[in-house]
Amino acid sequence: MINYVIEFTGIILCIIGLLQIFIGAKIDKNTIKYFVTLYVCLIMYLSCIIAGLIMKGRPGSYYHAAFLAVTYGEFLLSIITTYSMAQYLLYIIDPNHKRRLIRNFLLIVFSLQTLLLTVSQFTGLYYTIDYNNICHRKSGYPIVILLQILMFLALLYISVRNRTSFTKKEYIAFLVCIIIPLAAMVLQMLFYGVYFVSFATTIAALVMYVLVVSDQTEKFYRNEQENEKLKVDIMISQIQPHFLYNSLGAIQMMCRSNPEAAESAVKEFSLYLRGNMNSISSNVPINFFRELEHTKAYLNLEKLRFEDDLTVEYNIKCINFKIPALTMQPIVENAVRHGIRATSNGKGTVTISTEEFPDHVEVTVSDNGKGFDPNDIPADDRLHIGIKNVRDRLSRICSGKLEITSAPEKGTTVTIILPKGD
């Protein structure tokens, strides 16, 4: 009766754990994969124990074959559960798969466990099951426990040796998930009848899950705060102080010589600032028309400064699509500042065009300015940091892409590729 209570309680707790994962715990994909594997293996492991308890002592060929199968499954799933924990441990301390000695050792122990267990089904090395469905331990039975203990001791050594690779909660989680089952295995060797290992493994898995989820949830919200700060930093980087000063200076001069033009310039200036401010809170694509209006506001202000030195052309074939906010304007700004104005005479043309294809839309910004060699870009080049930010926003918000072609003294073409939705 104690064993039934232990196993059914374990299954219920594992199901609750799985539901919590699928409801939306803030953990990364590899952690989700590990815990799903762990809980599924535990449910199957505990189910095999329950099935074995039901069939124990019932004679008959059908029960005998079934009992052989579930007993084998019970041992095998215990081994797989331990090895899956080893894989998760390696994922944390060795994400680049550089520590081959450790990986090979754990794989060898796992393979040896599986091989000996399989051989035991034909030789009775670990146990035999008589036709009354009673399981009898054999002289080789301690081997299966000792190999499991060896695996856990190896995991304990790896955890302690690489403790700096873990967060505090991760380290505690692994110690709990190793030490509790390890102690239970010793008890299992001394006392026959009560399933200490299954109970200890279930409890350890739940404790580990709580600690890891707590730790990764903290990381998630910390990253969210950092992302918010990054968005503000990007916005501020786009509102260049010298551009503001120059624009305000040009407007000040027009206030006396051409008040109507000054009024129009103030309107464009406010549109430009509003577009940058709105981008802080925009995590979803906006209508292309809004991004185009924001870009035009920027270009109109630059036209006030550079007049006929800057020519802007539009070849807009489609506008009925969405684009992440603040993706086109930074590209146009680079075209003006680092393309057109960097030429010997400071003159040139910026062309903005859009075109629709069956599965995507392309937005192209091209200039006939200075250009650059794409294979010779300094790592700290601020121009290309801005492009990287745009590329990241495109990928994160709408799975878009950004392609650049350029050559010295021949200009630059930047193409934004936006996949169509279903």
The helix (run of H) or strand (run of E) holding residue 365 is strand 360-367
CATH number for the domain spanning 122: value is 1.20.1070.10
Residue 264, domain extent: 243-419
- Per the listing, tokens 């200890």 go with 200
Both 203 and 178 in a single domain? yes
Work out how many domains the chain is built from and give that number: 2
- Tell me the average pLDDT of the chain: 82
Which of 196, 228, 260 is the endpoint of a domain?
228
Both 253 and 331 in a single domain? yes
Both 115 and 47 in a single domain? yes
Both 338 and 220 in a single domain? no
Cα separation of 317 and 249, whole Å?
36
Q: Could you report the per-residue pLDDT of 73-104, keeping only the tens digit for each? A: 989 998 998 888 888 888 888 887 888 888 99
- Paired with 136 in beta bridges are 128
Both 212 and 345 in a single domain? no
Cα separation of 342 and 383, whole Å?
13
Cα separation of 201 and 41, whole Å?
11
In this predicted structure, what is the pLDDT of residue 192?
Answer: 62
In this predicted structure, what is the pLDDT of residue 380?
Answer: 46
Which of 165, 196, 228 is the endpoint of a domain?
228
Confidence of residue 131 (pLDDT cuts 50, 70, 90): confident
In a domain, 237, yes or no: no
Residue 68 pLDDT more than 80? yes
125: left (phi over 0), alpha (psi -120 to 50) or beta: alpha
In this predicted structure, what is the pLDDT of residue 357?
Answer: 92
Question: How large is the average pLDDT for residues 15-25?
Answer: 76
DSSP letters, 109-164, are HHHHHHHHHHHHHHH-SSEEE-TT--EEE-TTHHHHHHHHHHHHHHHHHHHHHTGG
Question: How large is the average pLDDT for residues 409-422?
Answer: 87
Both 315 and 397 in a single domain? yes
Question: How large is the average pLDDT for residues 189-204?
Answer: 72
In a domain, 19, yes or no: yes
Total count of residues recorded for the chain: 422
Confidence of residue 116 (pLDDT cuts 50, 70, 90): very high
